[in-house]
Structures are given as structure tokens and as C-alpha cells.
Chains A and B, each alone.
Chain A
Amino acid sequence: MHRRQFLAAASLPLLLAALPARAASDLLRIRDLYNKDLSFSPYAKAHEGRTVAVRGYMAPPLKAQAKFFVLTSRPMAVCPFCESEAEWPDDILVVYTDDIIDVVPFNVPIEVEGGLELGTYTDTQIGFVSRVRITSGSFEKM
């Protein structure tokens, strides 16, 4: 089903005008950024620095008024920083936003759009280490 039709059928009051004309199945999944050995995929390398759209779920944010969140492949009910790193799947994606995020429940699928950044980066404010990020991200419920 075309994404516009899907949204219309679901009667969700979203910003349809801002949506890219793309079938839902064309959306990138987090796993598309990795090879099975967790090295970056050819797609990820080819799109480094470019704008990509990824589907996933917003993990519960660390704090209110945050300008970042963790995108997960499947719903994760726990806050990423409240548990050891070992509790977390390897295929998560940190999303940095320009504005304070509107929190979406952890089990509502979202589409994130932003710049793809690869390479290890330590967030100086929260100490979170990420291997891959979305910068200037925006997101919508699917």
C-alpha cells in the first residue's frame, strides 16, 4: 500500500505535505546500515553525509527536553541509559535533533529523516558513545 493511502486509511493527523513520495517498503531499516558482522553496509558507506529516512521506534528518552533519542529496530521499553550497554541490541541508531523532541511512545513506529553520520563519536554532555547517527533529524509517526 502506498504510504499516503496508509496514512489516510489510519486517519492520522500528520503533516502529509512534508512526507516524501515513497512507498513504506522503500524506507530504510536500521539493519540496512550494517552487514551481519556489524560493519557498515555498502548502503551506509554510500550514503554517509547524505539525507536518509529510517523507520524504527523511539526508545524512552533519558530526560525531558532532550534533543536526541535512540532509534531501535523493535520496540524497547527501557531507557537506553538506565541499563548496561550490554542489554542493548547492537543495531541502534542515535538521532540528534535541532529542536527539543516530542516524545513518542516506545511502541509507535516512526519515520526519521536526517543526515547519516558514521564513525565513533562520544557525546561530551551525556557520555554516550555511538557508531552511527542521524543529525538534524526530524520524525513522524508512521
Chain B
Amino acid sequence: MKLFIAALVAGATAASACAQAQDALPQAGSEWFKLGQDTLAANLAKKPNTRRARNIILFTADGQGVGTNYAVRLFSGQQKGLLGSEYVQPQEAFPHLALVKTYTTNGQTPDSAPTAGAMNTGVKQKNGMINIDPSVDHGDCAGVTGHELKTFAEIVSGEGRSVGVISTARLTHATPAGVYAKTANRNWEDDSKLPEGCTAQKDIAAQLFDQVKAGVIDIALGGGRRHFIPKDAKGEEGKSGKRTDGRNIIKEIQDLGGQYAWNEDTFKALDLDSDKPVIGLFEASHMKYETDRTGEPSLAEMTAAAIKKLSKNGNGFFLDIEAGRVDHANHDGNGYRMMTDGKAFADAIALADELTDDADTLIIVTADHEHSIAFNGYCGRGSPVNGLCYDVDGKGVKHAAEPLKGDDGKPYTVVGYLNGVGSVLKKQDDGTYSGSRPDVTEAQAEDKDYVQQALIPLSSETHSGEDVAIYAKGPWSQLFDGTVEQNYIFHVMNYAAHNGE
């Protein structure tokens, strides 16, 4: 320890000496120069946390790669009246960072199933599959026997920790399913989707029940009610179930003594001091986008509730939290909802950070993959990221008044997509695709239902294989450094949970 302190003092002295030597530089008085010096000093003062992580929180914003994260940063800053670029999201202030390669064993571009599996088991998997080793073919139900991988949730719950899973998507969707399920096909969310004769594995909702009953999952909050109730039954909001086996899994969890919430009121009424399991299913399918949300809790509110419940366990907890609809908005080519759900994700991170102690809680913030999102033009500072790209003002800081235009004489938005429903190529009566870029005004572009222009016509915009980031703080977060494989996340979580003072 003495050596460590000596090294720190030496580092600080070096920084101070360096700062003194640079005083003579003509730029030394610049605010940018001072900011750079402050960042240098902060980095020199970083202390590795080598304590054992009692709690581990894994945040995933589905589809929020480096580019999407950039859009959310600018949007969040501009909502606060800033130009945008200078804004720092809560996770961006975390001390440790790595870039993640998201490819899967058979996909240069991943879907959300194997990426979740990689984070939860430590090995890469096949597209469309969750927590099954990659020797099994996609969709091969019989083949899964003996090839199920052990999840991080199973490891730590077996050691006495509590586990929670939260998503704004369906709880049976790929990312949350990665915490508790093992399936040859991510679409087998209820028994009606299982192929005939498939007995080697259960559907995903049934697996959630089994994991609750086994004591692996203590709290699960999200959407997807329809996969837990029979097809001839209706949920509290009047929408039908999907199950064909007649099971009402919600009632079965209640019969175990569990609590159930389906809307904001029942969510607020949950007894979080109880040691009984909790399931919240707030929509028949996915929960609402943040901008459309009504009558159901926010991601931040669900995060706070889960931390409150899980913190009752002195052995610690693992909590997996997904902002599932950043991805859906990108798939729809709708930048506004992508950004507002990305902001809600950041709000949940800030609250989780506030409610936990850096000394014993490892917080990891990442994404599972990026999208085909791209950014246009040499925009001046403050160009609305959900609007048009304006020219740089050579005489000032904020953008000029005129939007930049393409060679077709029409303005363009800051955000665009390489493919999707916003394609400028429209289907013609003869089945061919052609068209030209529509004109767009600032007001049209900023409308929350606006769909950004895209190139290749597709019914749903696609993921991309581009890197995503990891932001981390807390015990052993310093192990996130450089460019890493996605399955490495498990290895850091597993090491941090079991090593240190």
C-alpha cells in the first residue's frame, strides 16, 4: 500500500511539474487547455478498486452502439439548453472504458440473443440462440440437451446472492432472457412458438417461472404479459394471451407467494422489503417508449425498486437492466424515440449509481450491438441532432442560420440510416423501386414521429457489426480496457464477484 501511495504522489507531482512547465504556452489560459489539464489530473489520481464486488449491475441499452450513444448525448445536452457535444452522460463520467467486438460465432452482424448469451456465460454463441453452446444448430430443440451453458445468474444465486432482471422490452425478449433462459431459438417466447415435439427445452416464459421457483430470479420487471397467460384469457388491459398449454404463469408465481404488478399503481404497492419473488408485466408486449409512457413505471423507477429489494440480501446481488426500445426505435428509423429512450436509460444509470456504493458495486454500462445509423454533414455546433444539419459559422461557435443542402438542393438531417422504412426508394406499381429524396423542414424533422431518410429499402432497419462501448466503475472496473470481445464482460463480472479484499 505504501508503494501505491508513493506512486500516486509521484504521479501527481509529475502532473504538477508538467503543468508548471507548460504555463508559458500561449494557449495555457484557454478553457480547453484547463479542461484538458483537469482530465489529466483526474486520470492520474485514479485508484484501482481491488475489492470484491458484492453487487454487480449490468446495464445494456439494446442497439446503442457508439454512434447511437453519440446521438443520445447530443440530444440530452440540447434538451438542457446546451449545444450538445459538450454534454457528459452519467456513464460517460465513469472512469474505465473499453470497446467491444460484438460479432457472434456465425454472425459478423449479431442479433440480441447471442450477444446477451455472451455477456451472461462467457462464450460467444450463434445468432438467434441463447445460452446454448455453438455446436448446436439454430432451432434444433432436441440438440440442446447437454449443451446448456451455466449463466452468471445461476452462479451467483448459488452462492447466496439475489438476482434481478429488468427490461422495457418483453421479459421473454432476447436480452432479459439471456439472464435466465437457454433456448435454441430466441423466438420461442411461449409454448405456442415451440416446434411440435420439442421436449428437450421449455419455452422462455416457462423457463422464467422455473428460475423464479428455483430461487435464481428474485425480481423481474418488464413487458410481455401475453407470453405468461393462456390464449383464451385476457390480461388486465384486455389483450389476449398466447399460451396454448393453458398455463397462467403469473398465477403460478403468485401461488409461490410471489407478488405481481401490472401497472403503475400495483408497482407502487409492491412490498419490496419482502423476500418473496416479484414479477412485473406492464404491457402485453413491449413496454411503451418513454415519450409515450403512461400508467407504467419508467426504467429508472424499476431500477430503484429492484435495487431496494435486492439490497436486502447482505450477500449482494446481480441486476441486469435493459433499455430494450432504443433498438426498436432504430429499427423503425425513428430517431426521436431512440434518443428519448436513450435518455431514460441514462437516467436509470444515474439513479443506480446514486443508490449504490462505488466501493462494493461494479456497474457496467454497455450495448449489445449497433445499428445502421449514420451522421450527415459538417454540421455547426448546436445543430439539433433530431433536426437538420446547419452550416458551421466561421465567426462564432453556434451553427449558422442556413441548413446545409445536398447536391439535389434539399436540406438533410443530422441523423440518417443506411437502410429501413425511411428509404427514399419507394415501391412502384410495377414492383421496381425508385424515388428521390423528399424535402424536409426543421419542423418536420423534429416531429417525434419523423422517420429519418435511409437508402436501402427494408421493412425494418438492421443492426450493424460496429463496436459498442463499455463504461464501468466500481470493483475491478479497471479490467475493462482496450478492445475486447463481448464474452469478456462475463469474465470480469465473475472475477470481480469472487476476488479481492
Tell whether, in the assembled complex, residue A37 and residue B240 are in contact, meaning their CB atoms are under 8 Å apart: no
Tell whether, in the assembled complex, residue B285 and residue A87 are in contact, meaning their CB atoms are under 8 Å apart: yes
Tell whether, in the assembled complex, residue A74 and residue B441 are in contact, meaning their CB atoms are under 8 Å apart: no
Q: Given contacts A74-B421, A105-B427, list 5 more A-B pairs with CB under 8 A.
A: A6-B439, A75-B451, A86-B239, A86-B285, A107-B423
Most buried by B among A37, A85, A107: A107
Q: Which residues of B contact A68 (CB under 8 A)?
A: none
Give the distance in Å from the alpha carbon of A108 to the alpha carbon of B294 in the complex.
29
B236-251 interface (Cβ within 8 A of A): 239-240, 242
Main DSSP-derived SS at the A contact region:
loop
Name the interface size band of chain B: 20 to 34
Q: Mark A5-24, 1 if CB is under 8 A from B, else 0.
A: 01001100000000000001
Tell whether, in the assembled complex, residue B294 and residue A73 are in contact, meaning their CB atoms are under 8 Å apart: no
Partner pick for A84 among B240, B449, B460, CB 8 A cutoff: B240
Q: Which residues of A contact B439 (CB under 8 A)?
A: 1, 6, 9-10
Tell whether, in the assembled complex, residue A73 and residue B444 are in contact, meaning their CB atoms are under 8 Å apart: no
Does A125 interact with chain B (Cβ within 8 Å)?
no
Q: What residue of chain B has the Cβ atom nearest to residue A11's Cβ?
A: B436
Tell whether, in the assembled complex, residue A31 and residue B460 are in contact, meaning their CB atoms are under 8 Å apart: no
Q: What residue of chain B has the Cβ atom nearest to residue A77's Cβ?
A: B459
With A31-B449, A84-B240 known as contacts, the answer to whether A74 contacts B332 (CB < 8 A) is yes
Q: Mark B446-459, 1 if CB is under 8 A from A, else 0.
A: 01010100000101
Give the distance in Å from the alpha carbon of A73 to the alpha carbon of B240 in the complex.
24
Q: List 16 A-B contacts (CB under 8 A).
A: A24-B444, A25-B443, A29-B447, A29-B449, A36-B292, A37-B295, A74-B332, A74-B449, A75-B333, A77-B460, A84-B285, A86-B239, A105-B426, A105-B427, A107-B422, A107-B457
Give the distance in Å from the alpha carbon of A106 to the alpha carbon of B423 in the complex.
11
Q: Which residues of A contact B56 (CB under 8 A)?
A: none
Give the distance in Å from the alpha carbon of A24 to the alpha carbon of B450 in the complex.
14
Tell whether, in the assembled complex, residue B294 and residue A38 are in contact, meaning their CB atoms are under 8 Å apart: yes
Least CB distance, B162 to chain A, in whole angstroms: 31
Give the distance in Å from the alpha carbon of A38 to the alpha carbon of B285 in the complex.
17
Q: What residue of chain A has the Cβ atom nearest to residue B437's Cβ?
A: A10
Q: What residue of chain A has the Cβ atom nearest to residue B284's Cβ?
A: A86
Least CB distance, B390 to chain A, in whole angstroms: 17
With A6-B439, A29-B449, A74-B451 known as contacts, the answer to whether A84 contacts B226 (CB < 8 A) is yes
Q: Which residues of A contact B427 (CB under 8 A)?
A: 105
Q: Which residues of B contact A10 (CB under 8 A)?
A: 436, 438-439
Give the distance in Å from the alpha carbon of A75 to the alpha carbon of B329 in the complex.
12
Least CB distance, A75 to chain B, in whole angstroms: 4
Give the distance in Å from the alpha carbon of A106 to the alpha carbon of B292 in the complex.
22
Does B104 interact with chain A (Cβ within 8 Å)?
no
Does B78 interact with chain A (Cβ within 8 Å)?
no
Does B334 interact with chain A (Cβ within 8 Å)?
yes
Least CB distance, B433 to chain A, in whole angstroms: 9
Q: Tally A-B pairs: CB < 8 A.
A: 60
Q: Which residues of A contact B332 (CB under 8 A)?
A: 74-75
Partner pick for A73 among B295, B333, B449, CB 8 A cutoff: B449
Least CB distance, B243 to chain A, in whole angstroms: 13
Least CB distance, B322 to chain A, in whole angstroms: 19
Tell whether, in the assembled complex, residue A86 and residue B226 are in contact, meaning their CB atoms are under 8 Å apart: yes
Q: Which residues of B contact A85 (CB under 8 A)?
A: 239-240
Q: Which residues of A contact B226 (CB under 8 A)?
A: 84, 86
Q: Which residues of B contact A73 (CB under 8 A)?
A: 449
Partner pick for B421 among A1, A38, A77, A84, CB 8 A cutoff: A77
With A10-B439, A86-B284 known as contacts, the answer to whether A75 contacts B421 (CB < 8 A) is yes
Give the distance in Å from the alpha carbon of A38 to the alpha carbon of B238 in the complex.
14
Q: Which residues of A contact B449 (CB under 8 A)?
A: 29, 31, 73-74
Tell whether, in the assembled complex, residue A106 and residue B421 are in contact, meaning their CB atoms are under 8 Å apart: yes
Tell whether, in the assembled complex, residue A107 and residue B295 are in contact, meaning their CB atoms are under 8 Å apart: no
Q: Which residues of B contact A86 (CB under 8 A)?
A: 226, 239-240, 283-285
Counting from the closest, the 10 A-B pairs by CB-CB distance are: A77-B459, A86-B284, A75-B421, A86-B285, A105-B427, A107-B421, A73-B449, A36-B294, A37-B294, A86-B239
Q: Which residues of A contact B283 (CB under 8 A)?
A: 86
Give the distance in Å from the alpha carbon of A10 to the alpha carbon of B283 in the complex.
41
Give the distance in Å from the alpha carbon of A84 to the alpha carbon of B332 in the complex.
19
Q: What residue of chain B has the Cβ atom nearest to residue A29's Cβ?
A: B449
Least CB distance, B413 to chain A, in whole angstroms: 15
Q: Which residues of A contact B422 (CB under 8 A)?
A: 75, 107
Q: Which residues of B contact A38 (CB under 8 A)?
A: 294
A57-88 interface (Cβ within 8 A of B): 73-75, 77-78, 84-87
Least CB distance, A72 to chain B, in whole angstroms: 9
A29-59 interface (Cβ within 8 A of B): 29, 31, 36-38
Q: What residue of chain B has the Cβ atom nearest to residue A85's Cβ?
A: B239
Least CB distance, A55 to chain B, in whole angstroms: 9
Give the distance in Å from the alpha carbon of A78 to the alpha carbon of B423 in the complex.
16
Q: Which residues of B contact A105 (CB under 8 A)?
A: 426-427
Q: Which residues of B contact A107 (CB under 8 A)?
A: 421-423, 426, 451, 457
Least CB distance, B157 to chain A, in whole angstroms: 31
Q: What residue of chain A has the Cβ atom nearest to residue B428's Cβ?
A: A105
B436-486 interface (Cβ within 8 A of A): 436, 438-439, 441, 443-444, 447, 449, 451, 457, 459-460
